[in-house]
Structure 1
Amino acid sequence: MGKQHAVIIGAGDGLSAALARNLASDHALTLAARSGDKMRAVAEETNAATVRLDATDEAAVAALFDDLPEAPRVVVYNPSARIRGPITELDAEEVRKAVEVTAFGAFLTGKHAARRMLKADPADDGTRGTILFTGASAGVKGFPQSAPFAMGKFAQRGLAQSMARELHPNGIHVAWINIDGAILNPGRSEPDGKPGSMLRPEAIARSYRHLIEQDRSAWTHEIAVRPWVETF
């Protein structure tokens, strides 16, 4: 039996790269992103297929899942857009685009991932796959001068909750992950005197792996990961 398929949307060199490395040993990978440059190195490292994708374009998202050689067992949605500024000064069209990336793109991915999974025969344990959405603390509390990000992440969290209640009985595990803190992505460094104050991408990826491998008798629909020094 060949490897099961995993799809990571919003692939780059940080968390998504860590997820790709974590999954590559036992999954055939498809990485999708708006820019091919961001995913090229990790695709070569993990022998992944790549797709240039605008996650807010339904036809493109549908084609991504239709073109897979088999129904995916794992789908991860990472993209989000952040615009900062006083509420009275935010550009409405830029806000619309930001919410489309964070929330509407998540909906499209959830819709077409579930559509493909539901057509597949379940595994011996009755499951059909896992869909994970990368959230943030902005989906739990809205911060000042960050309304568009809060709007998108709150919507994404609600989407995941609704999908979990609808799809868990059909063998599809859906979960939303609150990334509550800054990620130590390539090119970033922790503040002086605060070692361990940022989340390691590899450590987050292990939490995603845990969700993917959970027994369906104890599925989690939402978790939070944060550095040990982060307040909450």
Structure 2
Amino acid sequence: MRNVSSSNSSRGIAAIVGVGPNLGRSIARKFAHEGYTVAILARDLGRLSRFADEIAREEKAQVFAIRIDCSETQSYGGPFNFSDIRLDSFQKSLAVASIGAFHCAQQVLPGMVERGKGTILFTGCAASLSGVAGFSELCCGKFALRGLSQCLAKEFHQLGVHIAHVIIDGVIGASRASQRLLAREQHCSVGGDGAMDPDSVAQTYWYLHIQPRAAWTQEIDVGSSSFRLV
């Protein structure tokens, strides 16, 4: 982290927590393209390092891979009968969705307040808005994350920190560029499975970051209605 903090980027530092092969990687690539030093964080350091090398090479940018455990899991699975859910499993789900975000926000907010600027973007889903039968673990955690985002947005707005909640209402697929590369390798056409292009969704995160303070958005819904959980 000291290496990241000592970066001489003129734009600043963008940290993306919980980076996977689709949306997280696309957001990291977008901010690197715009001149930011990028730190990508997740548990799998080997995979992160490959992403960092790829983005740094493509965008001629500084990209750091940092291992971090915010109690994130690969998938929620489900649906589950409520009576079968164990307390430790429910607590783990809350940690996955909200406690990790709480810890990360506490780490970066003091510096943002000191500088009088900064952006924190939380990622939710359709379960952030409405309960879904069989998914009480997921929904309760996502409700908590949305509440955290709303509270922080009101608390830190006057201090110059933009905090917003992004609702991903749909399925994020591989980027169109990755699909085209795979199609060429397999001599087939790009599939139209209805999944959202992560590079396009990443544009929304960039849009929120560069919004003028007088018109900050605190929540935005991005997605395909054909994939709604409600």
Report TM bin, short chain: 0.7 to 0.9
Residue segments in structure 1 that go unaligned for 5+ positions in a row: 57-77, 123-127, 189-193
Matched, 1:158 2:166: no
Corresponding residue of 2:207: 210
Distance, in Å, in 2 between the alignment partners of 1:31 and 1:112 is 15
Distance, in Å, in 2 between the alignment partners of 1:91 and 1:213 is 43
> Residue 82 of structure 1: which of 60, 63, 76 is its match?
76
Q: Which moves more between the two structures, 30-39 or 129-138?
A: 30-39
> Residue 12 of structure 1: which of 7, 20, 42 is its match?
20
Corresponding residue of 1:72: none
Q: Which moves more between the two structures, 43-52 or 208-217?
A: 43-52
Identity %: 29
Corresponding residue of 2:122: 133
TM superposition score normalised by structure 2: 0.80
Matches within 5 A, 1:1-232: 2-25=10-33, 26-47=35-56, 48-55=63-70, 82-84=76-78, 85-120=80-115, 122=116, 128-185=117-174, 195=192, 197-227=194-224, 229-230=226-227
How far has the Cα of 1:10 moved from its partner?
Answer: 0.5
Instruction: Compare the two structures and name the one with the higher helix fraction.
Output: 2
Deviations 1:37-67 (A, max 9, x none): 33222211223111111125xxxxxxxxxxx
Count of matched residue pairs = 200
How far has the Cα of 1:96 moved from its partner?
Answer: 1.0
How far has the Cα of 1:196 moved from its partner?
Answer: 6.0
Residue segments in structure 2 that go unaligned for 5+ positions in a row: 1-8, 57-62, 180-190
Corresponding residue of 1:66: none
TM superposition score normalised by structure 1: 0.79
Asked if 1 retains the 8 angstrom alpha-carbon contact of 2:170 and 2:226, the reply is no
Distance, in Å, in 1 between the alignment partners of 2:129 and 2:159 is 27
SS in 2 for 1:24: helix
